[in-house]
Amino acid sequence: MSLLSLRQLGHRFGLAPVLSGVSLDLHAGETLALVGPSGCGKSTLLHIAAGLLEPSEGRVRSTFRGVGCVFQQPRLMPWKNAADNIALGLKGLGLPAAARRRRAMEWATRMGLNEADAHKYPHELSGGMQSRVALGRALAVAPDLLLLDEPFSALDVGLKQELYGLLRKQVEHAGAAVLMITHDLMEAVRLADRIVVMASGPGRMLGEFVVEQSQSRRTEAWIHRTTAGLMDAPAVRESFGLASSAAAFNREPS
């Protein structure tokens, strides 16, 4: 089984430590959410996992074959239309031009874009459509590891729900692993199998929670109730700088 293993990771930018002693494992078919306030090193950790950054300390081992990344900003190539942006990774895989165009159009359709939208350039697309293109670009290469850096944070509630569904459908179909970072605890409860809570000064792990409920049984009421329960967990309150609660949450969500 494929595995991403991080052991005792530490990182510095200059003399400033941004990560310290972070260790975690991610298995195939699993979604792990990193939750914490701004500045706790979540994005740095994701960049290390992606191989875009070499850690100052510790060890990274991954047996995943392909990696797809989606960032908070879509980061589309402005001189390429939507379909060509989706096809970028396919070109890197060496697919012939005709096959790239065909698969890119298939993914554009899956992401809810019509043929006219697929031929538009980024400046002609709404923010939501740009996010669809970015997600389609990552999924088109059939990654077995998907890295998400708050790609839904700037979207309205309705579009978030739609993209959540698209993401879960593709992940379940392909059996991919997902490492996602978010400051939205409810988003983590909605999508993740495990939630790791981080704190800053420097970035470190405070606690981990297992979400036992299957995706098909996560109703809106259950998601809200579980999120409220987690907000009473000492690790979560410490992470976000909240006052201690008398109703401390001392069990894993189920």
Per-residue pLDDT at 174: 81
Per-residue pLDDT at 111: 86
Per-residue pLDDT at 166: 80
Is 147 part of a structural domain of the chain?
A: no
Q: What is the pLDDT of residues 169-186, one digit of tens each?
A: 878 888 889 999 998 999
CB 196 within 8 A of CB 33: yes
Is 123 part of a structural domain of the chain?
A: yes
Q: What is the pLDDT of residues 11-57, one digit of tens each?
A: 999 989 999 999 999 999 999 999 998 889 999 999 999 999 999 99
Is 167 part of a structural domain of the chain?
A: no
pLDDT averaged over the chain? 89
Per-residue pLDDT at 247: 46
User: Block means of pLDDT (10 residues each) for the chain, length 254 residues?
Assistant: 92 93 94 92 92 94 91 90 94 89 93 92 92 91 92 80 82 88 92 94 93 92 95 90 60 51
Q: How many domains does the chain have?
A: 1
Is 197 part of a structural domain of the chain?
A: no
Is 217 part of a structural domain of the chain?
A: no
pTM, whole model, 2 decimals? 0.88
Neighbours of 252 (CB within 10 A): 15
Share of the chain above pLDDT 70, in %: 96
Domain extent at residue 121: 67-142
Is 19 part of a structural domain of the chain?
A: no
